[in-house]
Amino acid sequence: MHESSETSSFGDQLVSLMPRLRRFAIGLTSSTHEGDDLVQSACQRALERTEQWRPGTRLDSWMYRIMQTIWLERLRAGAIRTSFLREQIEGPIVDGVRDADARTTFGKVRRILDEIPDQQRSVLLLVCVEGLSYREAAAVLDVPTGTVMSRLARARKTVMDRLDGMPSTAPAEASTDKEAAHA
């Protein structure tokens, strides 16, 4: 807003990362609303602790770590609604969209992702979606690389197995799934 200090250039970097931070947060929380809230809390925490970030290291990894930490804190505090309740609350507004979405492959993937245990979901998002290496993901989550690999393999097996088990609507998807255009 005002002068160009270290902090505001830090803020600029943060703003440019925003789409990816939102993607991770929305994947983590399975909710756009919760995801945006998580991003905002993480940005606030990051700005309070800019001195803890070492320039030259990846800012995105640091932010993923902060989001993961806040998310775990919220889960532990029991502040997070279950996905069932979330659907009760957020569902009715977008019922039609939700129904249509659930029939697409991508909709199914999101639904399966929602059911994957939290620890596995974090790894899955960091590696497969955000493109971090195993080692980078291990650093973000503060676990050994071997743990990243075993969680990742389990989570991907779940995704593929459940997807195979679901009734296919491939023909409809090819013509109606808007996201196919992005992919």
Partner 1 sequence: MRKRFPMQIPDDTVLMAYADGELSADVSDQVEGWIARMPAMQARVAAFMHSRALLQAALAAPLHEPTPHQSAALIGALGAMIASERKRKVVPLRTPRGDSPIIGYALAAGLAAIIIGFGSGLAWQSSVDYAVRMAALDAASAAALSQAVALTLETSPNYRAVMFHSASGIRQSITPLATFVTDDGAICREYLLAGRSEEIATACRDDNGRWLPRPVTGRRT
The residues of the shown chain that bind partner 1, judged by CB under 8 A, are 1-3, 5-8, 10-11, 14-15, 18-20, 22-23, 26-27, 32, 35-36, 39-40, 43-45, 47-48, 50-51, 77, 79, 105-107, 109-110, 113, 124-125, 127-129, 133-134, 149-150, 152-153, 156-157, 159-160, 163, 179, 182-183
- Smallest distance, Å, CB 174 to partner 1? 14
Q: Nearest approach, Cβ of 88 to partner 1 (angstroms)?
A: 22
Instruction: Decide whether 140 or 152 has the Cβ nearer to partner 1.
Output: 152
Contact assessment for residue 28 and residue 68, using Cβ atoms and an 8 Å cutoff: yes
Q: Which is nearer to partner 1, 6 or 85 (CB)?
A: 6
Which residues are within 8 A (CB) of 7 and not within 5 positions of it... i.e. 6 or more apart? 47, 50
d(CA 143, CA 134): 10
Residue 23 Cβ vs partner 1, minimum distance, rounded to whole Å: 4
DSSP string covering 92-121: GGGHHHHHHHHHSHHHHHHHHHHHS-HHHH
67: part of which helix (H) or strand (E)? helix 59-76
* Distance in Å, CB of 57 to partner 1, minimum: 19
Closest CA to 96 of 181, 182, 176: 176
